[in-house]
Amino acid sequence: MPEKTVFVVSRNTLQNELFVSFLKTATGFNISASAKLNEISLNGEKITANPLILFDCLGLEKDELWTKLSLNSDSLPPHSLIALFNVEHDPTFEKNAINHGIRGIFYVKEPLEIFSKGIDSIFQGEMWYSRKIVSQCLLESRSSYRAQINSATPLTSREKEILVEIASGASNQEIADNLFVSLHTIKTHIYNIYKKIHVSNRLQATLWAAKNI
């Protein structure tokens, strides 16, 4: 079985068939379709890697979506990654999605080519959101908790600066270019940041930043 597995969860059967066919061709990953979250399976095969669940939001009220995800969390494969598709543009919803640990969002009428790029990025530990939304989350959190964080956060000013860049979606090379330092220096800073805030990847660091910077 391929190392990377994607489950498409949608009540639209025709869309499922076409979407799954496209994703299989575009990514080469193991793609499976289900109508409900609690029906996810690989026809009896064992799921050996962290799977990505693409959940269709078309026609769902926002509160209904969070309820469905919460009620079915125990039935999902262990360490599942979750992304949403057929999402309407709504900054408030997108911020809530970040706070709920959703790895990424694909909008209504998003070009199919975007899905393969986004899915690959999520499997690499990144978040698939616009930099604008992530930056807004960070700025709002910073405004609300500035006094508390200044005294409690164990990071230096430079480390905070790099963490904001990470949370905005910048690559290590982009951060190095923006700060006029070497790639090796950035990697060392990131190692120290992860150690100080007790995280192991960019997603966890971004979620930590959203709450603490």
pLDDT in single tens digits along all 213 residues of the chain: 447 888 898 887 777 788 888 888 988 888 888 878 776 765 555 555 688 999 998 888 877 888 888 777 777 777 788 999 999 888 888 888 887 888 999 998 888 889 999 999 898 888 888 877 777 776 665 555 444 444 456 789 899 899 988 887 888 999 999 999 999 999 999 999 999 988 888 878 888 887 776
pLDDT given at position 114:
92
* Separation of alpha carbons 189 and 172, rounded Å: 10
CATH number where 185 lies: 1.10.10.10
Claim to verify: residue 140 and residue 100 sit in the same structural domain:
no
Yes or no: say if 5 and 24 are a contact pair by the CB < 8 Å rule: no
Q: What distance, in Å, lies between the first and last C-alpha atoms of the chain?
A: 41
Each residue of 75-94: b (16+ CB within 10 Å) or e? ebbeebbbbbbbbeeeeebb
Total domains in the fold of the chain:
2
pLDDT given at position 41:
62
Of 129, 164, 190, which residue sits at a domain end? 129
pLDDT given at position 145:
47
Of 129, 145, 165, which residue sits at a domain end? 129
* Separation of alpha carbons 213 and 53, rounded Å: 29
Claim to verify: residue 85 and residue 138 sit in the same structural domain:
no
Of 82, 99, 129, which residue sits at a domain end? 129
Contacts of 35 (CB under 8 A, 6+ apart): 9, 10, 11, 13, 16
Domain that residue 46 falls in: 5-129
Claim to verify: residue 37 and residue 99 sit in the same structural domain:
yes
